[in-house]
Amino acid sequence: MLGVPIFDRLGRWFTMICVGVPLSQPLLAAAAKHRMPLEALQTDERNLTKVCGSGLLLVRPDQHIAWRGRACENSRAAGAIIARVLGHERSA
């Protein structure tokens, strides 16, 4: 969606922005396990890639980036990321 600011495309709660990479199923599953509302936004827009690089951005409802990484395909790591974003101790 060229011409639409990225902030206007964020979900109401948490948003996982996937820039030039596939969705992280382990992060989606971990968010669901913690009942964390999470929407996914997948894009490969060149302008956004220039600014953010390729990878995943987990954006909080206040539009701050809570986590950023190239990928997350490990369910244990995904659980720890989501727990930390929510302010919980590391969960298995």
The three-state DSSP-derived secondary structure of 11-46 is CCCEEEEEECCCCCHHHHHHHHHCCCCEEEEEECCH
Nearest C-alpha neighbor of 65 from the set 15, 20, 8: 15
pTM value?
0.77
Low-confidence ranges of the chain (pLDDT < 70): 1-8, 45-54, 89-92
For residue 63, give every residue at least 6 positions away whose Cβ sits within 8 Å of its Cβ, in sequence order, or none: 7, 10
pLDDT score of 26: 94
pLDDT score of 58: 87
pLDDT score of 57: 86
Domain ranges for the chain, please list them: 18-85
Q: Give the separation between CA 22 and CA 32, rounded to whole angstroms.
A: 18
pLDDT score of 91: 47
pLDDT score of 66: 87
Q: Give the separation between CA 87 and CA 43, rounded to whole angstroms.
A: 28
Report, at the CATH architecture level, how domain 18-85 is classified.
3-Layer(aba) Sandwich (3.40)
pLDDT score of 19: 85
Tokens of 60: 């909080």
pLDDT score of 1: 52
